[in-house]
Amino acid sequence: AQTVTQSQPEMSVQEAETVTLSCTYDTSENNYYLFWYKQPPSRQMILVIRQEAYKQQNATENRFSVNFQKAAKSFSLKISDSQLGDTAMYFCAFSQLEYGNKLVFGAGTILRVKS
């Protein structure tokens, strides 16, 4: 079965600093997709970044980047120059065709950015 593990229930970071959120997953397949979603206090789910497993290059979106280690089944999210608006719950998620395109989510990490 697919599983996604986020081992950090809560984290905090000072404004303008860098923080890394961890995620590991389990699958026996080679072709799959990984995502980070952000859920601010408004509850809206927002896609932050996505990574295709067959691409070796790590995805980046402005201040957000990932460290994708396929052999280790690790997919961490790095947020640079943290801003107060980054305060949110962050979910790591996994999807693959063989499982009906279902998104499998981790338990989430609450990130608090302090001024």
Partner 1 sequence: EAQVTQNPRYLITVTGKKLTVTCSQNMNHEYMSWYRQDPGLGLRQIYYSMNVEVTDKGDVPEGYKVSRKEKRNFPLILESPSPNQTSLYFCASRQGGLPNTEAFFGQGTRLTVV
Shortest distance (Å) from residue 16 CB to partner 1: 29
108 contacts: CB under 8 Å, gap ≥ 6: 6, 9, 39, 89, 90, 91
Determine, following the binding rule CB under 8 A, whether residue 96 of this chain makes contact with partner 1: yes
Contact indicator for 77, 66 with CB cutoff of 8 Å: yes
DSSP structural state of residue 36:
E
Determine, following the binding rule CB under 8 A, whether residue 115 of this chain makes contact with partner 1: no
Determine, following the binding rule CB under 8 A, whether residue 68 of this chain makes contact with partner 1: no
Q: Which of residues 27-56 bind partner 1 (CB under 8 A)?
A: 32-33, 43-45, 47, 50, 52
Separation between Cα atoms, residue 64 and residue 69, nearest integer Å: 16
Provide the binding-site residues for partner 1, judged by CB under 8 A: 4, 6, 9, 32-33, 43-45, 47, 50, 52, 91, 93, 95-97, 100-108
